[in-house]
Chain A
Amino acid sequence: MPKLNLNRESMTKQDPKTRGKNFNEVALGYSAEQAKAEASRCIQCPKHSCMDGCPVEIDIPGFIKAVLDDNMPEAVRILKDKNSLPGICGRVCPQETQCEQACSLAKKGAPIAIGRLERYVADWERTNMGALNPRAEPPRPTGKQVAVVGSGPAGLVAAADLAKLGHSVTLFEALHVAGGVLMYGIPEFRLPKEIVQAEVAYVASLGVKIELNSVVGKVATLDELLENSCHALFLGTGAGAPMFMDIPGENLNGIYSANEFLTRVNLMKAYQFPEYDTPVFVGRRVAVIGGGNVAMDSARCALRLGADEVYIIYRRSEVEMPARREEVENAKEEGIQFKLLTNPKRYIGNESSWVVGMECYEMGLGDPDESGRRRPIAKEGSEFILDVDMVVAALGTRPNPLIAQTTSDLKTTKWGTVVADETIGKTMKDRVWAGGDIVTGAATVISAMGAARRAARDIDEYLRVIVE
Chain B
Amino acid sequence: MVLFELRRWMKLFAMDADAVKKSTLFMLLVNWGGVHQMVRIISRETLGTKIHLFKLEAPAIARKALAGQFVVIRIDERGERIPLTLADWDGKEGSVTVVFMEVGATTFRLALLKAGDFIADFVGPLGVPSHIDKFGTVVCVAGGVGAAPITPIAKVLKEKGNKIISILGARSKDLLFWEDKLRSVSHRLIVTTDDGTYGRKGVVTGPLKELLESGEKVDRVIAIGPSIMMKFCALTTQPFGVKTIVSLNPIMVDGTGMCGCCRVSVGGVTKFSCVDGPDFDGHQVDWDLLLARQRIYLDEEKCSFEQWQARMGKRS
Contact = CB atoms under 8 A, between A and B. Distances in A.
A176 B120 contact: yes
A174 B256 contact: yes
Q: Which of B30, B37, B253, B258 has the most CB of A within 10 A?
A: B258
Contacts of B7: 130-131, 198, 201-202, 205
A70 to B, nearest CB: 23
Contacts of A242: 258-260
Interface stretch (A251-259, A284-292, A297-305, A439-447): A251-259
A102 B60 CA distance: 50
B125 interface: yes
Contacts of A246: 270
A324 to B, nearest CB: 23
Interface in A389-416: 400-402
A278 interface: yes
Nearest to A188: B19
Given A131-B7, A218-B126, A204 B35 contact: yes
Contact of B297 (A210, A213, A275, A279): A279
Interface string A178-206: 10000000000000001001101110110
B3 A213 contact: no
B33 interface: yes
A241 B80 CA distance: 20
Contact of A215 (B123, B303, B304): B123
B257 A277 contact: no
A417 to B, nearest CB: 16
B80 A268 contact: yes
B8 A130 contact: yes
B263 A263 contact: no
Given A241-B257, A260-B253, 7 more contacts: A126-B11, A174-B256, A202-B7, A204-B33, A218-B124, A275-B78, A276-B78
Contacts of A352: 292, 295
A203 to B, nearest CB: 10
A273 interface: yes
B61 A219 contact: yes
Nearest to B75: A277
17 contacts: A126-B11, A130-B7, A130-B11, A178-B35, A218-B256, A219-B60, A220-B60, A240-B257, A242-B259, A273-B300, A279-B80, A279-B300, A353-B288, A353-B292, A400-B256, A400-B258, A402-B256
B307 A274 contact: yes
A259 B260 contact: yes
A205 B33 CA distance: 9
Contacts of B265: 251
B79 interface: yes
Nearest to A275: B20
B8 A131 contact: yes
B304 A272 contact: no
A272 B243 CA distance: 45
A254 B105 CA distance: 22
A197 B254 contact: no
Q: Which of A126, A215, A242, A402 has the most CB of B within 10 A?
A: A215
A462 interface: no
A106 interface: no
Interface string A158-188: 0000000000000000111010000000000
A244 interface: yes
A250 interface: yes
A250 B265 CA distance: 11
Contacts of B261: 256-257, 260
A103 to B, nearest CB: 32
A316 to B, nearest CB: 24
For this complex, into which size category does the number of interface residues on chain B fall?
35 or more
Given A174-B123, A218-B64, A274-B303, A263 B254 contact: yes
Given A250-B270, A251-B270, A210 B123 contact: no
B296 A281 contact: yes
A126 B14 CA distance: 10
Contact of A204 (B3, B121, B288): B3
A277 B80 CA distance: 5
For this complex, into which size category does the number of interface residues on chain A fall?
35 or more
B36 interface: yes
Interface string B120-160: 11111110000000000000000000000000000000000
A135 B106 CA distance: 42
B301 interface: yes
Nearest to A211: B37
Nearest to B290: A251
A264 interface: yes
B275 A402 contact: yes
Contacts of B256: 174, 215, 218, 400, 402
Contacts of A253: 292-293, 295-296
B3 A205 contact: yes
A278 B123 CA distance: 17
Interface string A206-248: 0001111111001110000000000000000000111010100
B81 interface: yes
A174 B3 contact: no
Interface string B1-41: 00110111011001000011010001000100111110000
B183 to A, nearest CB: 32
Contacts of A401: 257, 275
B121 A176 contact: yes
A240 B258 contact: yes
B253 to A, nearest CB: 6
Contacts of A126: 11
A210 B293 CA distance: 35
Nearest to A202: B7
A12 to B, nearest CB: 20
B211 interface: no
A272 B23 CA distance: 13
Nearest to A193: B23
B220 interface: no
A175 B254 contact: yes
B201 interface: no
A281 B298 CA distance: 11
B74 interface: yes
Nearest to A204: B35
B115 interface: no
A205 B37 CA distance: 16
B235 interface: no
Nearest to A212: B36
B74 A176 contact: yes
B271 to A, nearest CB: 10
A464 B81 CA distance: 42
B81 A201 contact: no
Contacts of A135: 4
A93 to B, nearest CB: 23
Interface string A371-405: 00000000000000000000000000000111000
